[in-house]
A and B are shown apart, each in its own frame.
Chain A
Amino acid sequence: MQLEPFLLSYAGFASIALTTQRIRRNIAMPNLPKIGALRIFAAILFSLAASRAVDHFGAEKGWVAFIGMVCLSAVPLVLMISRWPRVGVSAGLGAVIVGLGAMLLNGAG
C-alpha cells in the first residue's frame, strides 16, 4: 500500500504531539506513555515511513515521496487537534495499526 509512509508519518506526528504538555492536558487521557518513550516511538515510525517510501517508490523518488508525505501528514493532524484533539491523537493509533499491518502483509506477501 503506497499510503503506508503517510499513515506512519501521521502516527509519528501524533506521538510527538503527545509529548507537548498542552496537548497532554487537552486530551486528558489516563495512562499516557512517558514523553521519552513517545519520542523514541515517533523516531521509529518516521524511520519506517522512510523505509517504506523508498521501498515503494524506489531510491530516487522514495525520498521525495517520504518528505512530501511527512509534510502532508501533519496537516490533517493539526486540523484535527485544533477541533477534536482526542480524535486526532486516537486516529494516530489507527494509522499505526493500518500502516504496520499493511507493512507486515506486504512483507509476508
Chain B
Amino acid sequence: MTKPQADTAPSVRQSMAWIHGWLGLIAGWILFAMFLTGTASYFRPEITRWMQPEIDLAQVAPAIAADTAVAHLQKVAPSAEQWFITLPDERTTATRIFIRDRPDPGPNAKPAPRRPEMRLDPKSGEEVTARETRGGEHFYRFHFQLQIPHPWGRWLAGLCAMAMLTAIISGVITHKRIFVDFFTLRWSKGQRSWLDAHNASAVLALPFHAMITYTGLITLVAMYMPWPIAANYKDPATFETAVFGAEPEEEYSGRFIPLTPVAPLVADASREWGGRPATMTVRNPNDATATITLFQSAKDRLNARGGSIVYSGVDGRRLSASPPPGPGAETAGVMLGLHMGNFAGPLLRWTYFFLGLTGTAMVGTGLVLWTVKRKRPNAAPFFGLRLAERLNLGAIACLPAGMAAFLLANRLLPASMPGRADIEVSIMFWTWFGLAAVACLRPIHRAWAETLALAAIAFLALPIVSVLTTTRGLPTSLQKGDWLFISFDLAMIATGALLGFAAWRAAQSAPAPVRQRKQASDAVQPLKEAADAA
C-alpha cells in the first residue's frame, strides 16, 4: 500500500504562490520597463509636441488640412506613385505627409529612394521644420519592441506579457484575504508594508491590469500564434484582404487628368462615419487611374480599426468601401482600442495614465517584496538575492533617470545637430545602464536613495532647462495659456517630487552604520542583562 502524500504535496495555493513569485521576478524587470514606458505613451503625441517646441500651430478642420496638404504635394511631387497624408487632430497639430516616388519603368531599375516624412502647417500647407526627435513614439515603440531587432523584441515582450497574465491569475488564487485586505496599507512595517503596497496596487486596479495584459497579448496574437491563419490561407496577405478589404491597384496609365478636390470627399466620409478621417492615401495622383482612400479615425470609437472608403481621384465618385467587420475582426479591433486608449478624451486618458502607474507600482513593489522577503537580519545575502536587489535598483530607480535624460537631451543637444534623434535615444540607454552599473559600486541602501534622488533632480531640472533653452518655458506658457506645455512641466515637477519622496524614504529606511549599531547594542546590553536577571 502506498503512503498517502497529502501531507508533503504543496497545496494549490502554495503552488500558485511559487509560480507567482518566480514568474513575477523573472519577467518583472522587463515588465516594469514595459509598464512605465507604456504608461508614458498614453501621451505619445503630447510628448512629441513638447519635444518639438518649434512647432506651434493653430488647429484647422480636417478638410482644410487635406486641401493644403494636397496643394503642397502637387507642388513637390505631382507624379509620385503614392501620397500618404496623416491629418491633424486636437492632439497632433501638424499634418504629416510621406511620398512614395514612382520607380523607373526599366526592368533592372532600382527602386526609388525613400523620402523622409515631412510635417506641414495644416492652415497654410507650408513645410514646418523642427528639431529631429523620436518624441513619444520612442516610449511607445520601446514598450513592446524593447529596442531589440524585429521580431525578437516583440517575442520577448510577448513572453513577459504571458508571464504577467499567469502572475495575475496565480496572484488572485494566492491572495487569501483579497476582500479583507482591500483597504489595508500599513506604512513603515518592512516586509508587511511592501506586501500591502503590492496587494493594494494589484487588487484595486485588477480589472485594468487584467485588461491591459490580455489585450496587449491579443494585439500581437497573429505573430505569437500564426498557425490558424497559416492553416486556412496559403498567403497571409489573402487573410488581410478578407478581413480588412483591399485597395484597388490599377496600373498607372500615363494619361494626365488633374486630381479632384479632396475636401468634399473628407466631408462625405465624415458624414458617413459620424467621425473624422485620420489618414488619406492618394494613388497615382493626376492620372486617369487615380484613387483616394480615406481611413476612419479611431478617436471616436472603441474599435481601433476603422473602416475605409475609396474614391475616384478623377471625379470623386465613391468606388468601394471596406467590408463591415465580422465578429472576430470587431473583437480584435475593440481589444486593440481598449489597450491603446486612442478613443479616450483628456479625462479618460489621465485615468488610463494613473491606472498604468498603478500597474507599474504593482510590478515594482512585487520585485522589491521578493528581495525583502528573503533577507535575513543576521545573514549575508546570497548571490541570487544580491543580483535581484541590483536588478531591481537598475529597473525601478535607473529607468526613470534614463527617461528624464532622454527628455533633457532633447533640450540640451543643439536643435540642428545631425542624427540627434538617435543620440537622444542613446543617451537614455547610456544613462539607464550606466547609472545601474555605477550604483553597483555603492552599498545597496545608499544606492537606492542616491539613484532616486538623481532621477528626481533630473525631472525637476526639466522645466528649468526648458525655460533656458526654448521660448516655451513654464512662465511663458502660463502667460499664453499654453496648456499642453503647462501640464507637461507640472507633470515633470510632480514626477520629480514623487521620486524625491521615494529617495527620502529610501534614505530613512537605510540601516544604521555598523559602528552606531554597535553603540546601540552596547547601550541595550545592560538593559537585556537587567531583564534576564529579573
Contact = CB atoms under 8 A, between A and B. Distances in A.
Interface residues of B, number: 27
Contacts of A31: none
Interface string A1-29: 01100100000010011001011000000
B530 to A, nearest CB: 36
A81 B351 contact: no
Interface string B264-298: 00000000000000000000000000000000000
Contact of B354 (A67, A72, A82): A72
A45 interface: no
Contacts of A42: none
B187 A83 contact: yes
B205 A72 contact: yes
Interface in B197-212: 200-201, 204-208
Contact of A82 (B186, B204, B207): B186
Given A23-B183, A61-B302, A71 B348 contact: no
Contacts of A57: 348
A6 B350 CA distance: 12
B207 A67 contact: yes
B351 to A, nearest CB: 4
A74 interface: yes
Nearest to B361: A75
B301 interface: yes
B347 A71 contact: no
A79 B184 CA distance: 9
Interface in A64-105: 64-65, 67-69, 71-72, 74-75, 77-79, 81-83
Given A68-B208, A71-B355, A78 B338 contact: no
A6 B347 CA distance: 10
B311 interface: no
B504 interface: no
A93 B143 CA distance: 40
Contact of A74 (B187, B204, B338, B343): B204
B185 A81 contact: yes
B183 A64 contact: no
Interface in B331-390: 338, 343-345, 347-348, 351-352, 354-355, 358
B302 A72 contact: no
A75 B185 contact: no
Contact of B355 (A16, A68, A78): A68
A75 B348 contact: no
Nearest to A85: B183
Nearest to A68: B351
Residue among A60, A69, A78, A83 with most chain B CB within 10 A: A78
A69 B186 contact: no
A20 B348 contact: no
Residue among A61, A71, A75 with most chain B CB within 10 A: A71
Interface in A25-77: 57, 60-61, 64-65, 67-69, 71-72, 74-75, 77
Contacts of A83: 187
B348 A64 contact: yes
A23 B184 CA distance: 9
B509 to A, nearest CB: 17
Given A2-B347, A72-B205, A78-B183, A64 B338 contact: yes
B183 A68 contact: no
Interface of A: 2-3, 6, 13, 16-17, 20, 22-23, 57, 60-61, 64-65, 67-69, 71-72, 74-75, 77-79, 81-83
Given A2-B347, A71-B206, 8 more contacts: A3-B347, A60-B302, A61-B302, A71-B204, A71-B355, A72-B205, A75-B205, A78-B200
8 contacts: A2-B345, A57-B348, A68-B352, A71-B204, A75-B354, A81-B185, A82-B187, A83-B187
10 nearest interchain CB pairs?
A82-B185, A71-B205, A74-B204, A68-B351, A2-B347, A17-B183, A71-B208, A60-B302, A78-B185, A78-B200
Interface of B: 180, 182-187, 200-201, 204-208, 301-302, 338, 343-345, 347-348, 351-352, 354-355, 358
